[in-house]
């Protein structure tokens, strides 16, 4: 049964700027000489999602949760004996070695603002407001300013066999940067955020890995350059993290995902300490296989990216429309037909009735929508006339599938506000249940299978008695459920629902993660989804490049035991 929120709407209003990354960036600025030691508060909405999960130990140890309840179960799950056999090295230096490593880091970077063991800094780098994984803190955080700095850090990590974890925007959702229990160096690249060169005539630019896609696009707009970078994951995400998670976002239906077409080259510090640049700046190259691609989705396990050339797309006029449907199945069926019309769709996003309720309560646009399963569209075209034509075609197909209340934004401001409602889905969804935490799922199937997958999953969630909003990049067959839980029992039921959803997606020839990546949370599915041969090939590459398994251990590569299947719920036929 849905529990209505008790919090006042005013307290819960959120915007894309109020994300935890701001704290990290603030800390970087502070460590670079800022005057005040008080970090900005976590977003009020997010504070309650993480408070119970944050752990307090500061050095050399995986931290136990401060809270009782769901966090305890999560801690038990992540430290269960099954998580011990990856087939990769797990022998690291001793605590005394790591103390020496920290001393050497301080000697190498004598400036006060580069090496930190401050308790709050460690906490920020080992927890997340955005996910359901328990906190686990690094031993030390280092803030490099250059590729050379990163090389020095890697050499110290090798000398003392101390694991190393790259970190930048901190918006990843599957525990990607949680510290291993051995102790570790967190390398925070968010201060390496400069755009180094803009090549307007070539539609590309060169930047450091901590540059955020939002800032890059704002900079291009401010300079009057009619180009933009179309990959759009969480608003605080950085180019280095986006490559490393193999991200995408709402624009993927038009522009694709984090593939090497968008990343023309990367400069990487390898676990050996060697620096490589994968390609030059030409738009295409057949000079050997695509080594840039090796680092896409590698989750910081193969190297630390320190410079990137990204390709840019022309900025074209856009408009936003919303249409409501009798159910998600009808909505997704409409999408399948709309996508075959060849009109200018930049984004098509599915949201369900509960999402519309949360948006009515906490959205940016202040508009009140029917609480129905709906599609948000972003149209794109070279002229106003082309946008109108796209809107006409989309409206026609939508109405064929029972769509109603088709609303086209009447101004740029209205379009931006409507889109902000969709982009704030995580935060408005979390506001539905007071004191809840959210488990954000991410599966993807061939588009034609999406109606069945979404319909069955929604039925399953309803049968489980949990509260969940559904949003999805349906044009790509990718959708997310944000499952809300407060108690241990709700958490256990959430786990089962998520397992069934993933198994269902894989059975439909899909994937356990369309865009969020593997991290800690999806490792157990890789043998099932990819097969033993492919997983072993991944491990062979990992062992070759990082034989000591120093780079982000415990993520991505599954343990051999992680092969169990979870039963798919038997659901009513339809």
Ligand X SMILES: Cc1cc2nc3c(=O)[nH]c(=O)nc-3n(C[C@H](O)[C@H](O)[C@H](O)COP(=O)(O)OP(=O)(O)OC[C@H]3O[C@@H](n4cnc5c(N)ncnc54)[C@H](O)[C@@H]3O)c2cc1C
Q: Which is nearer to ligand X, 173 or 467 (CB)?
A: 173
> Which neighbouring-strand residues pair with 320?
378
Task: Assign residue 531 a region (left: φ > 0; alpha: ψ between -120 and 50; beta: otherwise).
Answer: left
477 binds ligand X (CB under 6 A): no
Question: Considering just the CA atoms, what is the radius of gyration of the chain in Å?
Answer: 23
144 binds ligand X (CB under 6 A): no
Nearest approach in angstroms of CB 165 to ligand X is 6
167 binds ligand X (CB under 6 A): yes
What does the DSSP assignment read for 549-573? Answer: --BSTTSSSPPTTTT---PPPP---
Interatomic CA distance for residues 91 and 418, integer angstroms: 51
Residue 159 in contact with residue 501, Cβ under 8 Å?
Answer: no
| Binding residue (CB under 6 A) for ligand X from 242, 348, 391, 491 | 242
Nearest approach in angstroms of CB 204 to ligand X is 19
Nearest approach in angstroms of CB 257 to ligand X is 8
Interatomic CA distance for residues 560 and 539, integer angstroms: 11
Q: How far is CA 21 from CA 139, 159, 184, 210, 271, in A?
A: 20, 31, 21, 11, 26
Q: What angle do CA 453, 454, 457 make, to 5 degrees?
A: 80
Residue 213 in contact with residue 314, Cβ under 8 Å?
Answer: no
| Binding residue (CB under 6 A) for ligand X from 244, 374, 380, 428 | 244
426 binds ligand X (CB under 6 A): yes
In this chain, which stretch among 98-106, 247-255, 397-405, 488-496 interacts with ligand X, using CB under 6 A?
Answer: 247-255
Give the pairing of strands 185-188 and 263-269: unpaired
249 binds ligand X (CB under 6 A): yes
- Residue 324 sits at φ, ψ, to 5 deg, of -105, 155
251 binds ligand X (CB under 6 A): no
Interatomic CA distance for residues 216 and 384, integer angstroms: 26
Residue 298 DSSP symbol: -
| Binding residue (CB under 6 A) for ligand X from 449, 516, 523, 542 | 516
Interatomic CA distance for residues 274 and 373, integer angstroms: 52
> Which neighbouring-strand residues pair with 141?
116, 186
In this chain, which stretch among 139-147, 233-241, 392-400, 412-420 interacts with ligand X, using CB under 6 A?
Answer: 233-241
Interatomic CA distance for residues 52 and 338, integer angstroms: 44
Letter string b/e over residues 488-497, b meaning 16 or more CB atoms within 10 A of that residue's CB: eebbebbbeb
558 binds ligand X (CB under 6 A): no
Nearest approach in angstroms of CB 426 to ligand X is 4
| Binding residue (CB under 6 A) for ligand X from 5, 163, 209, 558 | 209
Name every residue whose Cβ is closer than 8 Å to that of residue 362 and which is 6 or more positions away in sequence: 9, 12, 13, 14, 424, 427, 428, 431
| Binding residue (CB under 6 A) for ligand X from 27, 154, 162, 189 | 189
In this chain, which stretch among 1-9, 354-362, 503-511, 513-521 interacts with ligand X, using CB under 6 A?
Answer: 513-521
- State which of positions 487-506 bind ligand X (CB under 6 A): none
| Binding residue (CB under 6 A) for ligand X from 70, 126, 135, 169 | 169
- Residue 244 sits at φ, ψ, to 5 deg, of -70, -25
Nearest approach in angstroms of CB 301 to ligand X is 8
| Binding residue (CB under 6 A) for ligand X from 58, 170, 331, 569 | 170
Residues in contact with ligand X, counted by CB under 6 A, come to a total of 37
Q: How far is CA 469 from CA 1, 89, 328, 440, 441, in A?
A: 14, 40, 12, 10, 11
Q: Which is nearer to ligand X, 14 or 408 (CB)?
A: 14
Q: Which is nearer to ligand X, 44 or 402 (CB)?
A: 44
In this chain, which stretch among 199-207, 230-238, 317-325, 531-539 interacts with ligand X, using CB under 6 A?
Answer: 230-238
Nearest approach in angstroms of CB 323 to ligand X is 21
43 binds ligand X (CB under 6 A): no
| Binding residue (CB under 6 A) for ligand X from 62, 227, 296, 305 | 305
In this chain, which stretch among 222-230, 231-239, 274-282, 412-420 interacts with ligand X, using CB under 6 A?
Answer: 231-239
| Binding residue (CB under 6 A) for ligand X from 247, 345, 364, 450 | 247
Nearest approach in angstroms of CB 144 to ligand X is 10
512 binds ligand X (CB under 6 A): no
End-to-end CA distance of the chain: 23
Nearest approach in angstroms of CB 298 to ligand X is 7
| Binding residue (CB under 6 A) for ligand X from 12, 165, 331, 508 | 165
Q: Where do contacts with ligand X occur on this chain (CB under 6 A)?
A: 130, 165-173, 176-177, 189, 209, 233-234, 236-238, 240-242, 244-245, 247-249, 299-300, 304-305, 426, 515-517, 552, 555
């Amino acid at each position: 049964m849905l529990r209505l929120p008790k919090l006042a709407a005013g307290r819960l209003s959120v915007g894309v700027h109020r994300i935890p990354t701001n704290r990290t960036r603030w800390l970087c600025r502070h460590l670079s000489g800022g005057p005040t030691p008080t970090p900005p508060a976590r977003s009020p909405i997010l504070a309650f999602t993480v408070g119970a999960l944050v752990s307090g130990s500061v050095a050399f140890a995986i931290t136990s949760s401060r809270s009782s309840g769901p966090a305890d179960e999560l801690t038990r799950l992540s430290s269960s004996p099954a998580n011990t056999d990856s087939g990769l090295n797990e022998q690291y230096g001793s605590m005394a070695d790591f103390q020496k490593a920290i001393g050497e880091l301080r000697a190498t970077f004598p400036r006060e603002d580069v090496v930190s063991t401050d308790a709050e800094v460690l906490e920020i780098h080992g927890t997340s407001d955005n996910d359901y994984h328990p906190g686990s803190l690094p031993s030390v955080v280092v803030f490099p300013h250059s590729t050379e700095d990163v090389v020095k850090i890697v050499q110290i990590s090798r000398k003392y066999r101390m694991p190393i974890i790259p970190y930048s925007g901190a918006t990843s959702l599957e525990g990607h940067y949680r510290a291993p229990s051995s102790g570790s160096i967190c390398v925070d690249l968010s201060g390496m955020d400069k755009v180094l060169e803009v090549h307007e005539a070539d539609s590309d630019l060169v930047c450091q890995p901590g540059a955020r896609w939002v800032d890059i696009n704002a900079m291009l707009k401010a300079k009057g350059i009619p180009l933009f970078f179309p990959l759009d994951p969480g608003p605080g995400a950085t180019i280095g993290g986006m490559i490393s998670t193999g991200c995408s976002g709402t624009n993927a239906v038009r522009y694709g995902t984090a593939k090497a077409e968008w990343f023309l080259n990367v400069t990487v510090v390898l676990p050996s300490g060697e620096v490589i640049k994968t390609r030059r700046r030409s738009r295409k190259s057949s000079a050997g296989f695509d080594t840039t691609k090796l680092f896409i989705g590698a989750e910081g396990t193969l190297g630390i990216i320190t410079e990137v050339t990204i390709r840019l797309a022309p900025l074209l006029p856009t408009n936003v429309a919303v249409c409501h449907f009798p159910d998600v199945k009808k909505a997704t069926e409409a999408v399948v037909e709309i996508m075959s019309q060849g009109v200018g769709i930049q984004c098509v996003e599915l949201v369900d009735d509960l999402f519309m309720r949360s948006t009515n309560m906490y959205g940016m646009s202040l508009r009140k929508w029917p609480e129905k399963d709906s599609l948000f569209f972003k149209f794109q075209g070279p002229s106003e006339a082309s946008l109108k034509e796209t809107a006409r075609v989309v409206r026609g197909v939508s109405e064929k599938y029972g769509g109603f209340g088709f609303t086209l934004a009447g101004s740029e401001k209205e379009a931006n506000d409507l889109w902000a409602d969709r982009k704030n889905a995580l935060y408005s969804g979390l506001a539905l249940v007071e004191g809840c935490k959210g488990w954000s799922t991410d599966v993807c199937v061939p588009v034609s299978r999406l109606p069945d997958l979404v319909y069955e999953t929604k039925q399953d969630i309803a049968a489980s008695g949990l509260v969940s909003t559904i949003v999805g990049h349906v044009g790509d067959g990718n959708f997310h459920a944000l499952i809300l839980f407060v108690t241990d029992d709700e958490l256990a039921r959430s786990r089962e629902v998520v397992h069934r959803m993933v198994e269902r997606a894989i059975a439909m020839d899909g994937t356990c993660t369309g865009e969020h990546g593997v991290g800690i949370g999806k490792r157990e599915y890789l043998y099932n989804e990819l097969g033993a041969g492919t997983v072993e090939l991944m491990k062979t590459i990992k062992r070759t490049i990082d034989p000591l398994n120093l780079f982000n251990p415990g993520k991505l590569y599954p343990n051999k035991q992680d092969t169990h299947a979870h039963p798919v719920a038997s659901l009513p036929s339809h």
